[in-house]
């Protein structure tokens, strides 16, 4: 890779790390936040949900803004908003202000994250994209998985405000660096699809709101039912509008006729469903059953959560050589088998030493999935549509994550609970098996991707076809 490509990889990977980290970093800091700012349980839940909601809802809109106004320009804007939201959260004097600042963070991340892949595609030669996407994916996966560890460590050794303050200097350094090294590009349709944007944003808001409130409020709660049903109807209306009426659709439905695009996005949703829900419960298992502190629990998750940093770049290099299809399928299968192993060991009350190999299998599986998926998504569409394809894939991941926490928590509550160590294990085991089943279905979906899909796409770009020219350096 040339110097610009390397610096672009540094910028977009760091930005993705910050955005991914803030998905779960606040979870282990909630007791300290409540002790400082007060508030009811619902307020604490909204400090997590406010970020998840705005992030998931605005991802498609963020990608569309980049296509319309310039991806580098909108990336800088999203990074600035995220940094400002982080500072506001650290300075929050009460729960209402903190929740609002978390929503601002999520909005900035929603604009920033879907553009990272497109900017990386612009900068990196096709023959090296597998390695670059592997590094990007490994860093992004590491951020999501280590959020509870980093949040617990900062809260324990400093204060809860530092889980937000840490983003500010990083953002201030990235802003001028990104302006200097990133190339500019736009989508082929300069006009925004305002009706489509409104429908998909409102629909995602309803679905994600219903999912994140389903367990705490009850699935028969009027707000939850209205949000889920209304969100589903709005998404259906979005699909109908895009097919029949939109002159310049923000998400062309013909993309889903592409077997590779549909299969990779389906696999992403199922992978995040199983992974997010499992990490959410396993981190609590280490604390509630094994009596570890939040920091100790995070350290003991490292055989799983740190693995992407080691394995994902290697998997990316293999993707460049043999294609992403077999690597993704293998990764999803290993992740599913690892969750089954953790469930069986938990049922037998096995010690941590016996869990280490199984945690490593989960980490290797997650790494093998992360590395080639971005390459497969970007290669499944035309270059001018890569921004919206990235936004769609990220939206699938966020909805899958919210769905995973909701579904696995519901299984956990139905079969066990927090009353005792035995009750927790009784709920954990079936929940992990459901997560493993979901990821196994994701492996089946990934198997539908044409075997040499990624390799053929790389050859097409390197052959010099005119549509492969994505951007001009501004």
Domain annotation covers residue 473? no
**Do residues 162 and 298 share a domain?**
yes
Residue 215: domain span:
193-249
C-alpha–C-alpha distance, residues 225 and 228, integer Å: 5
Dihedral sign computed on CA atoms, order 325, 16, 200, 383: negative
Q: How many CB atoms lie within 10 A of CB 169?
A: 10
Residue ranges of the chain with pLDDT lower than 70?
A: 1, 40-42, 45, 144-145, 187-191, 294, 371, 384, 450-474
Q: How many CB atoms lie within 10 A of CB 221?
A: 14
- Nearest C-alpha neighbor of 416 from the set 284, 220, 292, 300: 284
**Do residues 154 and 200 share a domain?**
no
- Confidence (pLDDT) at 430: 95
* Residues 376 and 248 sit within 8 Å (Cβ to Cβ): no
Residues 6+ apart with CB under 8 A from 42: 216
**Do residues 394 and 413 share a domain?**
yes
**Do residues 34 and 58 share a domain?**
yes
**Do residues 206 and 293 share a domain?**
no
Residues 6+ apart with CB under 8 A from 31: none
Domain annotation covers residue 474? no
**Do residues 59 and 82 share a domain?**
yes
Number of domains in the chain: 2
For residue 104 the two structure tokens come to 């601002």
**Given 219, 249, 279, which residue is the final one in a domain?**
249
**Do residues 244 and 257 share a domain?**
no
Residue with tokens 């088998």: 337
Residue 27 CA from chain centroid, whole number: 16
Domain annotation covers residue 71? yes
**Given 227, 249, 271, which residue is the final one in a domain?**
249
**Given 214, 232, 249, which residue is the final one in a domain?**
249
- Nearest C-alpha neighbor of 338 from the set 378, 366, 311, 312: 366
**Do residues 167 and 63 share a domain?**
yes
Q: What are phi and psi for residue 184, nearest 5 degrees? A: -95, 145
* Residues 313 and 134 sit within 8 Å (Cβ to Cβ): yes
Q: What is the pTM of this model?
A: 0.76
- Confidence (pLDDT) at 298: 74
Residue 54 CA from chain centroid, whole number: 13
- Confidence (pLDDT) at 451: 61
Q: How many CB atoms lie within 10 A of CB 209?
A: 23
């Amino acid at each position: 890779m040339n110097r610009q490509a390397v610096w672009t990889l540094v910028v977009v990977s760091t930005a993705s790390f910050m955005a991914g980290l803030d998905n779960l970093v606040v979870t282990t800091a909630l007791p300290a936040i409540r002790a400082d700012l007060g508030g009811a349980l619902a307020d604490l839940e909204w400090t997590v949900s406010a970020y998840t909601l705005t992030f998931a809802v605005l991802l498609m809109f963020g990608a569309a803004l980049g296509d319309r106004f310039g991806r580098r320009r909108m990336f800088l804007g999203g990074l600035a908003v995220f940094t400002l939201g982080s500072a506001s959260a650290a300075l929050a004097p009460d729960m209402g202000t903190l929740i609002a600042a978390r929503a601002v963070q999520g909005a900035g991340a929603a604009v920033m994250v879907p553009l990272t892949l497109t900017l990386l595609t612009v900068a990196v030669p096709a023959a090296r994209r597998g390695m670059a996407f592997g590094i990007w994916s490994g860093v992004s996966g590491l951020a999501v998985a280590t959020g509870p560890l980093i949040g617990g460590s900062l809260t324990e050794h400093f204060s809860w405000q530092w889980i937000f303050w840490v983003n500010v200097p990083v953002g201030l350094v990235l802003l001028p660096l990104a302006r200097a090294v990133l190339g500019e590009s736009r989508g082929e349709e300069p006009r925004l699809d305002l009706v489509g944007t409104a429908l998909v944003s409102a629909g995602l808001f309803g679905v994600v709101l219903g999912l994140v409130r389903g367990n705490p409020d009850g699935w028969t709660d009027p707000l939850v039912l209205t949000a889920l049903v209304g969100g589903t109807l709005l998404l259906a209306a979005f699909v109908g509008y895009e097919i029949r009426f939109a002159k310049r659709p923000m998400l062309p439905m013909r993309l889903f006729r592409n077997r590779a695009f549909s299969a990779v996005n389906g696999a992403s949703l199922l992978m995040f469903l199983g992974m997010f829900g499992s990490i959410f419960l396993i981190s609590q298992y280490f604390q509630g059953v094994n009596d570890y502190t939040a920091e100790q629990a995070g350290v003991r998750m490292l055989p799983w959560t740190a693995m992407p940093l080691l394995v994902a770049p290697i998997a990316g290099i293999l993707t460049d050589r043999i294609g992403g299809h077999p690597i993704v399928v293998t990764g999803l299968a290993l992740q599913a088998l690892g969750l089954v192993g953790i469930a069986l060991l938990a049922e037998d009350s096995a010690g941590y030493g016996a869990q280490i190999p199984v945690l490593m299998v989960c980490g290797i599986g997650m790494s093998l999935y992360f590395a080639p998926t971005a390459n497969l998504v970007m290669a499944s569409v035309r270059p001018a549509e890569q921004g919206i394809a990235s936004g769609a894939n990220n939206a699938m991941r966020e909805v899958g994550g919210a769905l995973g926490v909701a579904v696995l928590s519901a299984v956990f509550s139905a079969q066990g609970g927090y009353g005792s160590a035995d009750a927790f294990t009784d709920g954990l085991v079936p929940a992990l098996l459901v997560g493993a089943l979901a990821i196994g279905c994701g492996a089946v979906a990934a198997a539908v991707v044409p075997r040499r899909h990624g390799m053929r796409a790389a050859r097409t770009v390197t052959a010099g076809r005119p549509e492969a020219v994505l951007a001009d350096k501004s």
